[in-house]
């Protein structure tokens, strides 16, 4: 009988305390996903390392086929105010290039883009911080010829003006570490010299899809 009374008392106490336990949890969950317009603390630095893949937006030139390339991206950015970062981005990509008719591997195209960048972060939703960025700089292009297929013929793409527009989001794992995903368009439109003949039929503009991490310093 005494055990039954004790059990009844415990059940009553649990019934009274359960709402008190659940309400703070619900409030905390709501607070976690609350949208804010605070942005970031001015003076914050972050370093980013991402990798991914990059298809060209069109044919590199007539009668060529280009594979989906590899992509590496490095960033160093500084928050000048709550919503705006300024900094530098360096991006490398490589594409294998084939001639379609007759079928022939020509080699691979390498591009290193040096990109002063500005990034806007208008708001946060809990741990998620969406953003957009824009970069202007230079594309340094080089071509590694397949000598077994094209002999001593040289393929020399021009260096050219780079313009990049990206959008993505960070997911904060801790106060200092965030997962990052980003998609971007990059202009890489110039000319090429094949042998001693210049051609303007050369456009290596691309879409990039990146996943990586960012480390924040306050």
The number of folded domains in the chain is: 2
Query: Do both 44 and 28 map to the same domain?
Result: no
What's residue 26's pLDDT? Answer: 47
Q: Which single residue is written with the structure tokens 């390339």?
A: 69
Contact yes or no for 76/47 (Cβ under 8 A): yes
Q: CB count, 10 Å around CB of 95?
A: 20
Contact yes or no for 48/77 (Cβ under 8 A): yes
Query: Do both 198 and 99 map to the same domain?
Result: yes
Q: Is 6 exposed, middle or buried (0-12, 13-18, 19+ CB in 10 A)?
A: exposed
Query: Do both 81 and 174 map to the same domain?
Result: yes
Contact yes or no for 22/15 (Cβ under 8 A): no
What's residue 81's pLDDT? Answer: 94
Residue ranges making up the domain that contains 19: 1-32
Q: At 27, is the pLDDT very low, low, confident or very high (cuts 50, 70, 90)?
A: very low
Nearest to 81 by CA among 45, 40, 48: 40
Query: Do both 10 and 94 map to the same domain?
Result: no
Nearest to 142 by CA among 163, 113, 100, 117: 113
Query: Do both 63 and 151 map to the same domain?
Result: yes
Query: Do both 106 and 10 map to the same domain?
Result: no
CATH of the domain at 126: 2.40.160.20
Query: Do both 175 and 203 map to the same domain?
Result: yes
Q: What 3-state class would DSSP assign to 40?
A: coil
Residues 75, 69: Cα–Cα separation, whole Å: 20
Query: Do both 20 and 112 map to the same domain?
Result: no
Query: Do both 48 and 122 map to the same domain?
Result: yes
What's residue 36's pLDDT? Answer: 73
Residues 113, 91: Cα–Cα separation, whole Å: 5
- pLDDT tens for residues 164-210? 999 999 999 999 999 999 999 999 999 999 999 999 999 999 999 99
Tokens of 51: 């990798």
Query: Do both 56 and 101 map to the same domain?
Result: yes
pLDDT higher than 50, residue 3: no
Query: Do both 47 and 21 map to the same domain?
Result: no
Residues 111, 71: Cα–Cα separation, whole Å: 10
More confident residue, 30 or 215: 215
- pLDDT tens for residues 157-175? 999 999 999 999 999 999 9
Residues 47, 22: Cα–Cα separation, whole Å: 39
Name the least confident of 31-45, 61-75, 108-122: 31-45
Tokens of 129: 């911080």
Query: Do both 81 and 140 map to the same domain?
Result: yes
């Amino acid at each position: 009988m005494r055990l039954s009374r004790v059990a009844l008392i415990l059940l009553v106490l649990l019934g009274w305390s359960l709402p008190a336990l659940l309400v703070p949890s619900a409030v905390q969950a709501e607070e976690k996903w609350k949208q804010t317009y605070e942005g970031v603390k001015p003076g914050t630095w972050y370093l980013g390392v991402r990798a991914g893949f990059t298809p060209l937006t069109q044919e590199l030139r007539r009668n060529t086929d280009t594979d989906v390339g590899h992509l590496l991206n490095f960033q160093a950015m500084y928050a000048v105010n709550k919503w705006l970062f300024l900094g530098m981005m360096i991006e490398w990509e490589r594409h294998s290039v084939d001639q379609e008719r007759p079928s022939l591997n020509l080699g691979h195209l390498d591009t290193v883009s040096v990109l002063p960048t500005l990034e806007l972060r208008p708001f946060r939703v809990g741990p998620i911080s969406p953003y957009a960025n824009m970069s202007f700089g230079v594309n340094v292009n080089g071509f590694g010829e397949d000598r077994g297929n094209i002999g001593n013929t040289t393929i020399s793409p021009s260096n050219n003006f780079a313009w990049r527009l990206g959008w993505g989001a960070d997911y904060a794992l801790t106060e200092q570490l965030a997962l990052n995903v980003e998609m971007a368009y990059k202009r890489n439109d110039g000319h090429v010299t094949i042998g001693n003949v210049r051609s303007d039929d050369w456009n290596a503009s691309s879409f990039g899809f990146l996943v990586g991490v960012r480390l924040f310093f306050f």
